[in-house]
Amino acid sequence: MAESKQGPQGSVFISYSRKDKEFVKKLNDALDNAGVQAWVDWEGIELASDWMQTITTAIQSHDAFIFVISPDSIKSKVCAEELELGINLNKKLIPILYREPAKGQKMHDKLSATNWVYMRKDDNFEDTVPKLIESIQTDLEWVSKHTQLLNQATEWEGKNKNNSFLLQGTGLEEAEKWMADASGKENRHVLPVQAEFIRASRKGAERRQRVVLVGISVALVVSIALSVLAVIARNDAKQQEAIAVESKNTAVVAQAIAEENRSKAEASQKEAEKNQRLAEEKTNIANAQKSAAQSQIYQGRAGEMDVSTLLAIDSYQRLETFQAENLIRINLGRMAVPVNQMSQDGAIWNIEWSPDFQYFVTGNNHDPSDQDAIKEACVWRAMDGGKVFCVEHEDDVNDAIFTKDGSLLITASADQTVKFWNAIDGVFVSEMKFDGAINDLDVSDSVLAIARDEGFLTLYYLYKPDVKPVNREETSGVYSVAFSPNGSYLAYGLTNGDVKFWQPNTNAFYNGPKHPTSNFVALTFSPDSNWLVSGGGDSLARLTKRDGTQQYSVPHGDWVEDVAFGPDPSWYVTASDDNKVRILETATGAELMRMSHSHFVQKVKVSPDGQWVASTGYDRVVRIWDSASGTQ
């Protein structure tokens, strides 16, 4: 049996039939020569009470699981149990075909679905070994961390989840990053015991921080008590001094008593001042420690790096400790440095990508007190934030989008017009005029949906100039419109809070969810076009099936201004007037993460790969967030 020792080249567990032992010996020698540590059962393990534990420990402690395919290994009960263990422990599975299975012989679905490494007698063994080594070492850093955390989590669980076995400090941060790195990766799966172990470690760390805060609070109470004693002593000193002054006016005999009282008063005054200095010093130390402890807590919270840094600076100014200095140094290394910051006159109310994601467009709403404000939509380069061009309206720009082919920029305004521009240089093409403000736009491959404030939904066929636009009258103004990604559904929200659907292929209109007491509705479809999320002035985000059936609602601290899905239907993002950006789980509505602005958040978008979330609002800046960690 080769020595089981995990190293930088990786380690494997080999499951095989005894009839293939000669081949496995050759394979083991080749792995050893390549620096890969292999665990091979050469002699066999007695099928006693500890057999399963021995095999489990061996599989658990190695990065990958090699299954040598032959007719005998496929029908072996021991090999089948070893394979099931490897799959349950989420080990990288590498099947090696040594001997073809018998005709009609069935094998495990996971085994048949995984790419095989061919090492039959007729195959070139030496040429195949490097490919096998490459397969073992693919994503080795993440896989090795998986093995380490599985061993630690199993030991913790085996010790009745004793807190002394939990992760701390850098180890905990690395584990949380490792788990975040698994998000959305097909071949990276976190086992429940690993996730529970990491979450328990984070709770343990927060519990220890709370204990530190309690100790600091006790010290602060003691300091306050000393301050009270100092004040009392000072008052006593003043009283003694008054007695001394009064005694001075008495007979010569009383002069000695007065001098003595004066001395006592001076001594009391000095003692009082000493106690006061001591109390102030202890109070300052307590406040410095409290600020440092709070800085460390906020350091681990998404979107709170600024607060953490200010607390660390306060701590260092009160008491120049290494802890405070180190907190400042770490925060400065982690704080975001913007590539560029774009701004316009007034609040930025919308942001949309071009189809190739090389550009994005923003539109502004001006401050009514600023009569000279420019009402415009501006196109920016995504790479460096540079301005490409701006187009103007006579009133606020309520929406700006690109057509699906990227040839046109379309803008909607409170000046009652929809304008079409060349998307490359911003040259004016044409316009549509209406009797009221245009609130929102959305476009499918062929249809432009226009939300009109005077109570109409207009459907304009972009590439059929001879087809007259369809105007559907509603009971109140149309506030928002949103096509599903496949173009099979259009959802639109009214200024009375109602949401309705239109199905283009059948021209059917039907009702969706309602946001009572809301005069606006924000809308977004899931990437698979099966779900609609809506938000409104009732401070709720609602999830609805495409047939109009509501599933649940999620309360927010203020109006839900905008919603956006990630690249898969499993999560979505909301922007709210409570200054928060939230990432929510689609299946349950559970909050996965939240980030903060300094003012109302109006719009939010997710990058095509789901790694970044962009948000903007009344603070007049666009912020980019890491969707896995919430870091700005």
For 462-477, the pLDDT digits (tens) are 988 888 999 999 999 9
Instruction: Inform me whether the pLDDT recorded for 1 exceeds 50.
Output: no
pLDDT at 307: 84
Instruction: Inform me whether the pLDDT recorded for 412 exceeds 60.
Output: yes
Instruction: Inform me whether the pLDDT recorded for 142 exceeds 50.
Output: yes
Three-state secondary structure string covering 177-238: HHHHHCCCCCCCCCCHHHHHHHHHHHHHHHHHHHHHHHHHHHHHHHHHHHHHHHHHHHHHHH
Q: Which band of pLDDT confidence, cut at 50, 70 and 90, is reported for residue 253? A: low
Mean pLDDT of the chain: 85
The mean per-residue pLDDT over the stretch 526-536 comes to 96
For 335-389, write each residue's pLDDT tens digit: 665 556 666 666 676 788 899 989 999 887 766 667 777 889 999 998 888 899 9
Nearest-angstrom CA–CA distance, 500 and 510: 6
Residue 69 in tokens: 């395919």
pTM of the model: 0.48
- Return the closest-CA partner of residue 111 out of 140, 152, 80: 80
pLDDT at 303: 60
Angle between helices 77-88 and 51-60 (to 10 degrees): 50
Which residues of 30-76 form beta strands (DSSP E)? 37-39, 64-69
191: exposed, middle or buried (C-beta count within 10 Å: 0-12, 13-18, 19+)?
middle
Determine contact, residues 318/295, Cβ cutoff 8 Å: no
